[in-house]
Structure 1
Amino acid sequence: MATAFYSHPDCLLHEMGPGHPECPERLAAIEDQLIASRIAEAIERESAPLADLADIARVHTRAHIDFIERSAPSEGRAWIDPDTSMNPHTWRAALRAAGAAVAATDAVIDGRYENAFCSVRPPGHHAEPARAMGFCFFNNVAIAARHALEVRGLARVAIVDFDVHHGNGTEAAFAGDERVLMCSFFQHPFYPFSGADNQAPNMVNLPMSARTPGTAVREAIDLVWLPRLEAFKPEMIFISAGFDAHREDDLGNMGLVENDYSWITEQVRRVAERHARGRIVSCLEGGYNLSALGRSVVAHLRALAEI
């Protein structure tokens, strides 16, 4: 079966001002590298639908959803926090990003695709059930995982988060939920300054110091993540795919390269093949050096599609 690639032009229309790192050019850089690498023809394109508010409400409070919808300006920008703002297109882009994750989940569970990557923005893993923050409005991966559990009837799902920043929103959504195993590594101490202490039993967090190279990350994954994933036997795996731990990315200070993302993805894919019928849905999170982002996504896709 093929690998699906979900995106939508609406995701390009959300922007937070000149010089903001979470910019529309991120998706354009991914598209450029897909063409340059000649793998575009090896993946199946899908258009991201708008999420239903009921999908979002499985993770976020109704008050939060109403606040985001109400905050969308008719012109200019509305600031949600010092790093995060909305323009007139943000609401629709956020619905597309969450909608892509849900649609990809359905397509993979239904057997149309073995796995899928959602090239969408805004990202999601910092969005908590009742708070937007860190460039994120709705938690795309959490929404998809909750959909798999509560709508599609899966009993166990795993979430893998390899962004340089801790996925505090995803942890807030699932801490203590025995149906979910979340495995992450992240630079620490670093924004959002969470994840290192008082971990719930279903959270497998690996705080890493600045300048940690990919070899050390691989060793930690091999020793800690993989045994927990094997024991958990997930029926589906979701990936918060942030590529800002790349050594060329100025928003972090870790030392990964494209081959590290390939290796991580291959390990996750093998777990999925053994326990989850190969079912993986991956959603773009961070990654702000445009060249490194595009190259890393291609490496990720090659490993997902085994090409």
Structure 2
Amino acid sequence: MTTAYFSHPDCLNHVTPPGHPEQVARLEAIAQRLAMPQFADLLRLDAPLAEEAEIARCHPPQYADAIKAAVPESGYVSLDADTHMSPGSYAAALRAVGGNLKAVNMVLSGQAQNAFVGCRPPGHHAEQAKPMGFCLFGNVAIAAKYALDHHGLERVAVVDFDVHHGNGTQALLWDEPRVRFVSTHQSPLWPGTGERAERGAHGNVMNLPLAPHSGGADLRRAMEQYALPMLDEFAPELVLVSAGFDAHMADPLAQLNWTTDDFTWVTRILCDLADDHAGGRLVSTLEGGYDLEALAASVAAHVQVLMERGS
């Protein structure tokens, strides 16, 4: 068994305006770090283009059509104050979804123990018919529905440790009793959702808001006291991870004080969860993280744990 790593040059063609934090350089920094010798055994694969029918698992067809129609011939178009598209953005978004679906296929078929999808744009803020927060399609939510409906799984866990609440993933999976969605995130912080009272239509959502300037000890307490007992009882057959690295203390967009070691810790406990209930089957996908050095180091720590578990 091994760890699969999905990316694609198309994801470098999603170009945002100068100064935008969700920039091409994010993937370049990750690729440079993962080119180091200790990552030589990664199974490196191109993320395929998702078929548009797969987008419809979470988004109405007219929404995908509108995103496709918004692609500019040159320059940029702004979908909101934060979310922009360039000529290469639609293909990049299809790669981000397609990478997740291919990763699910490989992990569930035993071709890989686990996987990391290093694509952009990210996805956890995209709602059913609304792009926002740098996101166009709900990459992880689509992967969860795909695992349930295409592969016939009965229980999938989605854990989001991005510093911003995954409002889109929550909305897309709100009515899905076969999923447990857990989010740790800073609060108060944009987008202003993710209160504990938001529980999902079937009690399938758990939000664990963390106060500004919280550190790794607060993360550990929240996961060990609340998230892990619930997820252990649920016994997921697959663990999906929205891996945002913007809770790092160096990140410019938030005020949590995690270190690289905290990302190592949370990756290990999610791998433990997958080992205990899902035969180690875990798929992680890139969300946020906007300080390039902290992002590269944190992704490297995350992937290193996946490789240790996938060997």
TM-score normalised per structure 1: 0.98
What is the CA-CA distance between 1:131 and the residue it aligns to?
A: 0.7
What corresponds to 2:132 in structure 1? 133
What corresponds to 1:6 in structure 2? 6
**Aligned-residue identity in percent:** 47
Misfit runs of 4+, over 4 Å: none
Aligned length: 306
What is the CA-CA distance between 1:35 and the residue it aligns to?
A: 2.8
**Residue type of the alignment partner of 2:11:** C
Which SS does the other structure have where 1:160 is aligned? strand
**Residue type of the alignment partner of 2:230:** R
What is the CA-CA distance between 1:40 and the residue it aligns to?
A: 2.2
**Residue type of the alignment partner of 2:237:** E
**Pairs within 5 Å for 1:185-204:** 185-196=184-195, 197-200=197-200, 201-204=203-206
Counterpart check, 1:26 vs 2:26: yes
Cα distance in 2 for partners of 1:54, 1:131 equals 18
Cα RMSD (Å): 0.9
Residue number among 271, 274, 277 corresponding to 1:272 in the alignment:
274
What is the CA-CA distance between 1:225 and the residue it aligns to?
A: 0.8
1:187-230 CA-to-partner distances (Å, cap 9, x unmatched) read 01111100104322111110111000111111111111110110
Which SS does the other structure have where 2:40 is aligned? helix
**Residue type of the alignment partner of 1:60:** H
Counterpart check, 1:79 vs 2:81: no
Residue number among 225, 229, 232 corresponding to 1:230 in the alignment:
232
What corresponds to 1:171 in structure 2? 170
Cα distance in 2 for partners of 1:50, 1:289 equals 28
Which SS does the other structure have where 2:35 is aligned? helix
What corresponds to 1:142 in structure 2? 141
1:155-176 CA-to-partner distances (Å, cap 9, x unmatched) read 0000000000000000001113
What is the CA-CA distance between 1:54 and the residue it aligns to?
A: 1.0
Please identify, of 156-165 and 190-199, the stretch whose mean Cα deviation from structure 2 is larger: 190-199
Cα distance in 2 for partners of 1:198, 1:158 equals 17
Cα distance in 2 for partners of 1:218, 1:106 equals 31
Structure 2's unaligned 5+ residue stretches are none
Structure 1's unaligned 5+ residue stretches are none
**Residue type of the alignment partner of 1:34:** L
What is the CA-CA distance between 1:277 and the residue it aligns to?
A: 0.9
**Residue type of the alignment partner of 1:163:** D
Cα distance in 2 for partners of 1:286, 1:124 equals 9
**Residue type of the alignment partner of 1:237:** V
TM-score normalised per structure 2: 0.97
Cα distance in 1 for partners of 2:275, 2:254 equals 32
**Pairs within 5 Å for 1:1-307:** 1-36=1-36, 38-196=37-195, 197-200=197-200, 201-306=203-308
Which SS does the other structure have where 2:43 is aligned? strand
**Residue type of the alignment partner of 1:243:** F
**Residue type of the alignment partner of 2:272:** R
Preserved CA contact (<8 Å) 2:243 2:286: yes
Which SS does the other structure have where 1:81 is aligned? coil
